[in-house]
Structures are given as C-alpha cells and as structure tokens.
Amino acid sequence: MPAAPPAAPPAAPPAPHDPYAALRVAPFRRYIAGLLTLILATQVQGVVVAWQVYAVTRDPLSLGLIGLAEALPYIGFALWAGHVADRVDRRKLTMAATLVLLACSAGLLALSLARPAPRAHVAAIYAIIFASGIARSFLNPARTALSSELVPRALLANSLTWRSTTWQTAAVGGPALGGLLYGFAGAPLAYALDTALMAVALLAFLRVRHTPRPRPPAAATLGRSLREGVAFVRAQPVLLGAMSLDLFSVLFGGATALLPIFADEILRVGPQGLGVLRAAPAAGAVAVSLWLAHRPPVRRTGPVLLGVVAAFGAAMVGFGLSRVFALSVGLLVLAGGVDMVSVNIRSMLLQMLVPEHLLGRVSSVNQIFIGSSNEIGAFESGVAAKLVGAAPSVVIGGVLTIGVVAATAWLVPPLRRMRAIPLADAGARAAS
C-alpha cells in the first residue's frame, strides 16, 4: 500500500495590518510635513480672504467670485500641467509651484499692511487669487504623482490614507487659526502666519530625496499626450463615474463659500465662529481618516461610495435648515466625516487604476472635475444665495446631491457593483 503523501504545510497567517507603514519611509514623512504646512497656509488664507471680501462688499456673489477667480486658471491650465508633470521631475515642479504660492501669500500680507481703498483691496485680492490658481493647477498633479513615487507599491493604499489624514488635519487647524487670528489680531498677523507656513512647506519639499522611477517615452506632441490621459479616463467607467459623482455632488452640495453669511447673518457668531464652521467638516474628516488608517481598505467600495455621498447631501440639507450653532457644527462634522470616506475611495481609484506614467495627466483630468466642483461650486453657491437666499440654496443643493447619487447608481452599474479595488503590479501598470 503506497504511503500517504505528506500533509501540506499550514498556510502562513496573514501579516498584521501596519497602520503606520508608509510613515516609516523617510521621504514620504518629509512630503507629509510639506503637505501639512502647505494646506494649513491655504486654509488660513481662505478664511481671511473670504471674511475680508464679504466685510467690504456685503454681497454673496462676491464670495462666489473668489472661487471663480481661482477656478478659471486652475481648470484652464490643468491639462497642460498634467502633461508637464509626466515629463519633468515632479519634485522640482512641486517646489516651483509652492514658491509661487509663497509669493502670493507675501502679496496678501503686503496688501493688508498697505491698507488701500476697500474696493481696490478687493480687486487686488482677486488678482492674487487668480495667480495662485495657476500655481495650484501645476502643483496638484505634480504632488499627487510625486507621492506615489515615494513609497513601495504595497504601501500605496496606506500612504493615500495618511495623505488624506494630513490634508484634513490641516483643514481643521487652518480655518480655526485664521478665524481666531483675524478676529483678535487682524489680517496682517493672519497673513504673516500664512506666509511663514508656506515657506516651511517649501523647505520640507526641498528635503524630499528620491530617485524618480523610469517612465515610458512621452508622446511626441502635446496634443497626443493630452489625448492619452483623457482617453484613459473615458475607458474606465468606474473612474469616470466616481469623478462625475464628485463633480456634481460638491457642485450642488457644497456650502463652504457661504459660511461667512451663515456666521454673520444666520448664526451670528462672527469671524471666530466662521473659523469653527470652516474647521468642522475637517474635524469629522480627521476622525474618520484616523479610523480608516487603522483598518484594512474599504470593501464593497461602490455601494459605500454611493452611500456616503448620499449622507453628505442629507447633512447639507440639515445644515441649511439649522439655526442653532452647535447643531450646525455637528452637521458639518458629519458631512466632513462621510466625505472623507468618499475622498479616500476616489483617491485609491485614481492611484491604483492609473499607470504611473499617466498619473500626472489623469490627475489633471481629475483636477478639472475637482476644480469644477469646488471653485465653480463656490460661484454657483454665491449666485444661488443671491437669488433665493443662503439657507434655501444649501437645502436645495443637498437635495440635488441625493438625486445625483441615485442617477449615478442607475447610469454606472460597474460603480454600483464594485467591491475591492485591485492593485496591479508596477509592471502591469506600466504596460497598460
């Protein structure tokens, strides 16, 4: 009788999830330090600019024009910026764009010290914001693609979570700092902090050391290069559906541009309260992002994405109806928390489904969607508030966001059915 074959060795237990794996990579830690101070600076600046402009004009449309002044160059240069990010050293491009943002911060500081006539002050602010929109158009695809080069492919999902956590942490502290400094010490000190933080960000990016990964030869012409990025997005229904969902949900459901009106006229909490309102969504996002960092990637990705965007719309409806400051803050915290899940899923889709040599161009396509939803959404909010009032416009926008979720679930079945996001190996990604 033949001997029985030896028993197969027991399967090795799965490696425990290390929530801090990406942070153990030194270049990524320096990148995160630069990102933290960069976003802190822009958030401080955003609160002070919005309050200054509204204090002079008392016009909701003027708040929308801030978003439009940034959105036009941000979107207009986006595809070219993505092409550049895929051809040059992404670290150097990140530093160059940050240097321009530093100059814009210094310009706002100088303007606040010069004390020009109010209307001239507002026009100069719009001009500086326009210039910063150009810089951000080049910065975002460069820094997005750079972050993927700093960690091994296996740590990509973890690095994305920490990147989002850092962004949202800065978005909590920045508005609070901006509101408090402006309310108690005035604009010059707030802009001085903005400028100092931007300088620290530039130094942090300067200290990032890495060797760029080899990329396939770029397309011979700019037009062909841009078509490659757009064609890839069009061929990915899940990615295109997620981008479209973000575009229309934030276009209709965002209320950030109108927060000065809520702080001043509806809730009556002043610039200090405005800082709290601006920080509240990010506070919810930080809490959720820390939870996401300590657990494996989200499963049932598509249904979760649709569900959290619907919850975001419902929170915006509640915020528009609220007249109690604490309740309004709580609803913004909830909106930020569920939006963080949405941001995390969309970031993983972008970084995991896109070949690395296309990441700059596809990120630029994504930033057109994001820029349209955030900055043009701010303009839309200002127009809607002027026509029907701030609170009704937020309620209507929340309802429309829920409708967008239903339409996306019906029109994009692959997104509705999507479960885990597969991560192809680097070789497969480069060949795709």
- The domains of the chain are located at 22-210+220-431
C-alpha angle 266-272-277 in degrees, rounded to nearest 5: 60
Q: Are 73 and 129 in contact (CB under 8 A)?
A: no
- pLDDT, residue 96, reads 95
**CA 285/CA 288 separation, integer angstroms:** 5
- pLDDT, residue 11, reads 46
Distances (CA, A) of 286 to 39, 136, 227, 298: 14, 23, 36, 17
- pLDDT, residue 205, reads 94
Q: Are 341 and 298 in contact (CB under 8 A)?
A: yes
> Which has the closest alpha carbon to 350: 95, 156, 137?
156
> Which has the closest alpha carbon to 40: 187, 197, 186, 164?
197
**CA 68/CA 408 separation, integer angstroms:** 26
Q: Tokens for 277? A: 């309102």
Q: Are 273 and 263 in contact (CB under 8 A)?
A: yes
CATH of 22-210+220-431, one of 1.20.1250.20, 3.30.1050.10, 1.10.260.40, 1.10.10.60: 1.20.1250.20
Q: What is the pLDDT along the chain (432 residues), one digit of tens a residue?
A: 455 555 544 544 555 667 778 888 889 999 999 999 999 999 888 888 887 887 777 777 777 778 778 878 887 887 788 778 777 788 999 999 999 999 999 999 988 887 665 667 788 888 999 999 899 989 988 888 888 888 887 777 778 778 877 877 787 777 777 877 877 778 888 899 999 999 999 999 999 987 776 655 555 555 666 666 667 766 677 777 777 777 777 777 667 778 888 888 888 888 778 878 877 887 888 788 778 777 666 677 778 888 888 999 999 999 999 999 999 999 999 988 888 888 777 777 776 666 666 666 666 666 666 655 566 666 667 777 778 888 888 888 889 889 888 888 888 887 777 776 655 444 334 333
> Which has the closest alpha carbon to 74: 82, 63, 86?
82
3-state class (DSSP) for residue 422: coil
**CA 210/CA 330 separation, integer angstroms:** 42
Is residue 17 left, alpha or beta, with left meaning phi > 0 and alpha meaning psi from -120 to 50? beta
Q: Tokens for 175? A: 């508005």
- pLDDT, residue 111, reads 87
| Alpha-carbon torsion, ordered 291, 209, 90, 248, to 10 deg | 10
